[in-house]
């Protein structure tokens, strides 16, 4: 049975990136993939830096947590380029100041591709997390890529982590250098729980949060306004908009204040 918690996907089409105008009408502008529903999609992502392919299973009929979002693709490209030429990489600002390899946690991992690619390109120990009902697919993808990840000295572990649940954060501990996330700011009722988890993990710690974000709604500025009360937020990278869109994916760095 499909368990729906607070990741309701009624008004978001993951195949389409939406930017909302002043009048709040969405403009569809990017189609990533358009396959028949009820099918599992196995996608290959070739990583130039390690000359290897990562395989990711998507389950479109299961909902938005089981699909690849645009910001994840951006972060994957940045991680791949970082390994090829760190001196020319927007991620260097973060990755040259942490343990090497950095210990990484990913929030709202979805298919898990970002964490898996981070483990494969950085040789890191990465914990990929999401809502409990998403973890089985994370596990599937982690196991499918264990060989590629292992050859780089990386390891991927999967765990449930519900935003806003202090006990889930406690269970993870704080032995991380970097928290990664892509496309996790979308429904406004999730802003507070996500910020609460970030507060618990970042404030008073040296952990850095790196978030790739595709802007869809004007209301997302509320998330950033709230975030800036607790974190120093700056922009590491802005992707060139593609397929006629007005905005590209932006990669932010959050550091706890105080």
Ligand X SMILES: C[S@@+](CC[C@H](N)C(=O)[O-])C[C@H]1O[C@@H](n2cnc3c(N)ncnc32)[C@H](O)[C@@H]1O
Pick the piece of the chain touching ligand X (CB under 6 A) from 24-32, 33-41, 67-75, 116-124. Answer: 67-75
15 binds ligand X (CB under 6 A): no
Tokens read off for 175: 């032995």
Task: Count Cβ atoms within 10 A of the Cβ of residue 227 and give its class: 0-12 exposed, 13-18 middle, 19 or more buried.
Answer: buried
Of 69 and 231, the one with the shorter C-beta distance to ligand X is: 69
Q: Of residues 17, 58, 65, 152, which one binds ligand X by CB under 6 A?
A: 65
| Minimum distance of ligand X from residue 168's CB (angstroms) | 8
Q: Of residues 18, 69, 94, 239, which one binds ligand X by CB under 6 A?
A: 69
| Minimum distance of ligand X from residue 255's CB (angstroms) | 21
| Minimum distance of ligand X from residue 46's CB (angstroms) | 18
Residue labelled with tokens 């800036």: 228
| Minimum distance of ligand X from residue 212's CB (angstroms) | 7
Q: Of residues 19, 50, 59, 64, which one binds ligand X by CB under 6 A?
A: 64
Contacts (CB under 6 A) with ligand X, residues 176-205 = 182-184, 186, 190, 193
Distance CA 36, CA 247 (A): 28
Helices (H), the chain: 70-84, 92-95, 113-122, 135-144, 146-151, 166-172, 191-202, 220-230
CA dihedral defined by 114, 235, 124, 140, rounded to 10 degrees?
-10
| Minimum distance of ligand X from residue 22's CB (angstroms) | 24
| Minimum distance of ligand X from residue 75's CB (angstroms) | 8
List b or e across 146-182, with b for residues whose CB sees 16 or more CB atoms inside 10 angstroms: eebbeebebebebbebbbeeeebbeebeeebbbbbbb
Query: HSE on the CB side for 103, CA within 13 Å?
Result: 9
Contacts (CB under 6 A) with ligand X, residues 100-159 = 108-111, 130-131, 134
| Minimum distance of ligand X from residue 87's CB (angstroms) | 27
Of 96 and 222, the one with the shorter C-beta distance to ligand X is: 222
Q: Of residues 27, 30, 77, 162, which one binds ligand X by CB under 6 A?
A: 162
How far are the Cα atoms of 17, 19, 26, 178, 216 from residue 22, in angstroms, in the given order? 17, 10, 10, 35, 12
Of 85 and 192, the one with the shorter C-beta distance to ligand X is: 192
23 phi and psi, to 5 degrees? Answer: -85, 10
The contact set with ligand X (CB under 6 A) reads 6-7, 64-65, 68-69, 71-72, 108-111, 130-131, 134, 162-163, 182-184, 186, 190, 193
């Amino acid at each position: 049975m499909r368990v729906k918690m607070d990741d309701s996907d009624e008004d978001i089409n993951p195949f389409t990136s939406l930017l909302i105008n002043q009048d709040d009408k969405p403009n569809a502008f990017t189609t990533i993939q358009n396959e028949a529903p009820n099918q599992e999609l196995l996608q290959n992502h070739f990583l130039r830096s390690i000359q290897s392919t990562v395989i990711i299973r998507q389950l479109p009929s299961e909902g938005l947590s089981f699909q690849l979002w645009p910001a994840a693709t951006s972060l994957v490209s940045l991680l791949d380029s970082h390994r090829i030429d760190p001196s020319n990489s927007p991620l260097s600002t973060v990755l040259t100041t942490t343990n090497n390899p950095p210990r990484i946690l990913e929030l709202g991992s979805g298919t898990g591709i970002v964490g898996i690619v981070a483990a494969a390109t950085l040789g890191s120990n990465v914990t990929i997390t999401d809502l409990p009902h998403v973890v089985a697919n994370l596990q599937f993808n982690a196991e499918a890529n264990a060989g590629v990840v292992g050859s780089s000295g990386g390891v991927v572990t999967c765990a449930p982590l519900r935003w806003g649940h202090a006990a889930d954060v406690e269970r993870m501990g704080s032995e991380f250098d970097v928290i990664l996330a892509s496309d996790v700011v979308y429904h406004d009722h999730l802003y507070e729980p996500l910020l609460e988890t970030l507060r618990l993990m970042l404030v008073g710690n040296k952990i850095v949060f790196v978030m790739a974000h595709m802007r869809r709604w004007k209301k997302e500025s509320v998330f950033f306004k709230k975030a800036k009360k607790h974190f120093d937020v700056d922009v590491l990278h802005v992707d060139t908009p593609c397929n006629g869109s007005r905005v590209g994916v932006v990669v932010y760095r959050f550091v706890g204040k105080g």
